[in-house]
Amino acid sequence: MTIQWNEMIVPDARALRTSEIRDLLKVAERPEIISFAGGVPDPKLFPLATFNAVYGDLTGDEVAGRRSLQYSISEGLPGLRQWIADDLAAAGAARDIENILITCGAQQGLDMLARLFLEPGREIVLEKPSYLGAMQAFSMRRPSYVGVNMDDDGPIIAELDAAFANGARIAYLSPDFQNPTGRSYSLDRRLAVLETARKYGAIILEDAAYCKLSYEGEMLPSLLALDEVNGDRDAGTVIQLGTFSKTMAPALRIGWITAPRPVICQLVLMKQAGDLHVSTINQEVALRAATALFPAHIETLQDAYRAKRDVMSAALDETMPEGVSWSRPQGGMFIWLTLPENIDSRALLAEAMEDAHVAFVPGQAFFCDQSGGNTARLSFATESTERIVEGIKRLADLIARKGNQ
């Protein structure tokens, strides 16, 4: 008897959908394509010499080397968790290592939190637009999405309040240099978000993946830093996700969750039932590299990405036709493009790839309600400044032709 595989797969798994970005990257890697599609770091900025030295020193030390190749505790190496705790404290978010769990990138953190808090039909609040990878992680639990619109200061508080008033008790938010828009919350909006969450006893999942990639202005405190309740580090409403993927190297797959201890304890059990622990040697390397590199390496990244952002912004200013607008991020890797209402960004992408050899991500993929058909995400992180200028010119020419049709 032939097995009907699709019938054997449970509904939770069938809820998963392919990532438009991952599919697009396979095509955008063609050398003739100027790609603004990938939300990935510039590989030229990876601290290769430091990694070469750290891996060599580690495996050259018999005791440390053998320890780094062994199983480890599920919570993560104490030394790495202490480094993260110290870094959080320096940013105003004092936490103990018992509040920190090391994960296989922040993406695993999203998946674990989804399995911990979500179930079919449970509502979760998302920004409109929001990070596609988070929606992929959440969708396997088949929640109900509640979209909240944004302005330049952050989510619209009246809409957030209404979502919580109607029963939602979880919100996934990105206050710093959000993927995909590059927007950041103002201080007043951060405080209002926290006040609204506390009013209803709601949980905030704060994605801090880009928080260190700040290029101008004052760095505002994270929601985690503002979430102090009488000095009790287990009494807050914020769970924060962090990662080294944007500041050191994605292949390390080192992320972390900072949360009240009851949450961490449950996540540790899930970790034990899943992959036991994150790679021991990669944790050791991350700790040694972070100790050697930071903060100087962060300044190197800031200088490099600031220059690319400025080049893309200037090219947009100089070439884009009337009716097109874009965000002006103070950090991160992305600029958000809003096209005239009559231009569909998915159709535009097909023409851009074929005729102009330029790639970007259509914005509709980032909306939980599939709106945003006239929007697009542009990443300035990986292409050279010369190719950024040329790619924006080609894209602007194509948009202008579309507008004249």
pLDDT tens digits for 244-260? 999 999 999 999 999 99
pLDDT computed for residue 218 by the predictor = 87
Domain end among 293, 320, 350:
293
- Per-residue pLDDT averaged across 354-377, rounded? 94
CATH number at residue 13: 3.90.1150.10
CATH assignment at residue 249: 3.40.640.10
What confidence score (pLDDT) does residue 20 get?
Answer: 62
* Average pLDDT estimate for 202-231: 93
Do 266 and 154 lie in one domain? The reply is yes
Residues 263 and 363 in one domain: no
Structural domain boundaries enclosing 360: 9-46+297-404
% of the chain with per-residue pLDDT over 70: 95
What is the tens place of the pLDDT at every residue in 302-353?
999 999 999 999 999 999 999 999 999 999 999 999 999 999 999 999 999 9
Query: Between residues 276 and 18, which one has the greater pLDDT?
Result: 276
Same domain, 246 and 353: no
Is the pLDDT at 24 greater than 80, yes or no? no
Cis peptide before 11 (omega within 30 of 0): no
In a domain, 396, yes or no: yes
Tokens of 188: 């007043």
* pLDDT for 1: 66
Q: SS in 3 state form for the chain? A: CCCCHHHHCCHHHHCCCCCHHHHHHHHHCCCCCEECCCCCCCHHHCCHHHHHHHHHHHHHCHHHHHHHCCCCCCCCCHHHHHHHHHHHHHCCCCCCHHHEEEEEHHHHHHHHHHHHHCCCCCEEEEEECCCHHHHHHHHCCCCEEEEEEEECCEECHHHHHHHHHCCCCEEEECCCCCCCCCCCCCHHHHHHHHHHHHHHCCEEEEECCCCCCECCCCCCCCHHHHCCECCECCCCCEEEEEECCCCCCHHHCEEEEECCHHHHHHHHHHHHHHCCCCCHHHHHHHHHHHHHHCCHHHHHHHHHHHHHHHHHHHHHHHHCCCCCEECCCCECCEEEEECCCCCCHHHHHHHHHHHHCEECEEHHHHCCCCCCCCEEEEECCCCCHHHHHHHHHHHHHHHHHHHHC
Whole-number mean pLDDT of the chain?
A: 93
In a domain, 258, yes or no: yes
Mean pLDDT of 30-34: 85
What count of Cα atoms within 13 Å lies in the side-chain half-sphere of residue 349?
Answer: 26
Q: Contact, 55 vs 65, CB < 8 A?
A: no
Are 211 and 77 found together in one domain?
yes
Q: Are 211 and 349 found together in one domain?
A: no
Asked which of 261, 293, 325 is the last residue of a domain, the reply is 293
**Residue 31 in domain:** yes
Domain closes at, from 293, 324, 356: 293
For residue range 83-113, list pLDDT tens digits in order.
Answer: 999 999 999 999 999 999 999 999 999 999 9
Check whether residue 332 and residue 260 sit in a common domain.
no
Q: Is 3 part of a structural domain of the chain?
A: no
Q: Specify whether 269 is located in the same domain as 334.
A: no
Domain count, the chain: 2
32 and 54 fall within a common domain = no
Q: Average the pLDDT over each of 16-20, 276-280, 341-345 and give the range with the smallest value.
A: 16-20
Based on the fold, state whether residues 92 and 61 are members of the same structural domain: yes
Which of the four pLDDT bands, split at 50, 70 and 90, describes residue 39?
A: confident
State residue 334's pLDDT score.
Answer: 98
Q: What pLDDT is attached to residue 284?
A: 97
pLDDT value of residue 232 = 78
Identify whether residues 227 and 261 lie together within a single domain.
yes
Residue 15: pLDDT over 80? no
- Asked if residue 254 lies in contact with residue 51, where contact means CB atoms within 8 angstroms, the answer is no
Strand order in the sheet with 325-326: 325-326, 334-338, 375-379, 361-362
CA pair distance 39, 11, nearest whole angstrom: 30
Residue 312 and residue 167 share a domain: no
